[in-house]
Structure 1
Amino acid sequence: MDHVLGILKVRVKRGTNLVVRDALSSDPYVTVSQGNLKVKTRVVKKDCNPVWNDELTLSVTDKNLPLLVTVYDKDTFTADDKMGEAEIDIRPYLECIEMCLENLPSPTTIKRIQPGKDNCYAEESSIVWLDGKIVQDMILRLRNVPTGEVELQLEWIDLPGRN
């Protein structure tokens, strides 16, 4: 197994204005992958504005690999339909983790990331010191579909014995 740098907790909060893939609605779920690791949320039936609030965890072995977030429509008899995807560069977040910040007032914004052509952010995303941990909330615009956004939160979990 590759050297694990730490655990990334990804809270998949909700989807907004997701595309319809079935007759009237969709049964969406989200996968989050990095390299060959993939985790997924539960399916929310018949809802193009689903609320998951699912907490997923990934072992991070390479900070240069982006997270790929993909939304699918669950189908029973055919392959699941893709409802869009987004990519997250986790390096800015991990750079804040590596600062080894402590005892800041809560909340303290450490870094702001603006939406642009080179990322999938729908609006400004802030990396924040909050109650003794560093979190990043974001709303991602899905690519390859006319509409759809997914709201996520990242949180780093250090492995015992790592500094």
Structure 2
Amino acid sequence: MGSPKTPSSLMDNMLGLLRVRIQRGVNLAVRDVRSSDPYVVVKMGKQKLKTRVIKKDVNPEWNEDLTLSVSDPNVPIKLTVYDHDTFSMDDKMGDAEFEVKTFLEAMKMKLDGLPNGTVITRVQPCRTNCLAEESCVTWRDKRVVQDVCLRLRNVECGEVELQLHWIDLPGGKGL
């Protein structure tokens, strides 16, 4: 009795796994008395993952890895911050969206031999993205890493800092 196999058509379409490290929230909105109990929900297509709740903290440190399977590089990642409430529905504390296309393009380059810390490309904040500051795609520790700081929309204040890493799949389509 082996473990159930993933349908090969699913594996054929999968490019690999994107590890999203939700690092921290900065100056998140207050939704309870003087504080909030925030957690983050990350969605990409039909996938939905969430972090743990951090009690009474508008500057929470999650440092939590969420892993998404990527089959279409054009699908944006949506991030929503909520305030956990015990006796009522959780309050929304803002949302953001970001593209992974630039990061995936950098993954296709032959980068072996580059000095550690080399900036491969930069993504500038603009009206069409949620970046709070310039986001650099960097060659670090023999892999491509992107640091992202997102300004939350539909809320009075708050940012979420995260980092992207790529995981190649054996037998996957690859980039």
TM over 0.5: yes
Equivalent position of 1:11 in the other structure: 21
The residue type paired with residue 26 of structure 2 is T
Where does the alignment leave 5 or more consecutive residues of structure 2 unmatched? 1-6
Equivalent position of 1:49 in the other structure: 59
| 1:24 paired to 2:30 | no
State the distance in 1 between where 2:76 and 2:139 align. Answer: 22
Query: By how many angstroms is 1:101 displaced?
Result: 2.2
State the distance in 2 between where 1:47 and 1:37 align. Answer: 27
Query: By how many angstroms is 1:160 displaced?
Result: 1.4
Equivalent position of 1:93 in the other structure: 103
State the distance in 2 between where 1:66 and 1:97 align. Answer: 17
Equivalent position of 2:78 in the other structure: 68
Equivalent position of 2:148 in the other structure: 138
TM-score relative to the length of structure 2: 0.90
The residue type paired with residue 47 of structure 1 is D
| 1:155 paired to 2:128 | no
Aligned residues: 163
SS of structure 2 residue aligned to 1:43: coil
| 1:106 paired to 2:125 | no
TM-score relative to the length of structure 1: 0.96
State the distance in 1 between where 2:49 and 2:71 align. Answer: 15
Where does the alignment leave 5 or more consecutive residues of structure 1 unmatched? none
State the distance in 2 between where 1:119 and 1:145 align. Answer: 16
State the distance in 2 between where 1:142 and 1:109 align. Answer: 25
Query: By how many angstroms is 1:4 displaced?
Result: 1.4
SS of structure 1 residue aligned to 2:112: coil
> Which ranges of 4 or more aligned residues in structure 1 deviate by more than 6 Å?
none
State the distance in 1 between where 2:141 and 2:127 align. Answer: 32
Query: By how many angstroms is 1:153 displaced?
Result: 0.1
| 1:58 paired to 2:73 | no
State the distance in 2 between where 1:147 and 1:100 align. Answer: 40
Query: By how many angstroms is 1:161 displaced?
Result: 3.7
State the distance in 2 between where 1:4 and 1:100 align. Answer: 21
1:34-68 per-residue CA deviation (whole Å, 9 max, x = no partner) reads 01101111100000010100011011121110000
RMSD: 1.1
SS of structure 2 residue aligned to 1:103: coil
State the distance in 1 between where 2:82 and 2:153 align. Answer: 13
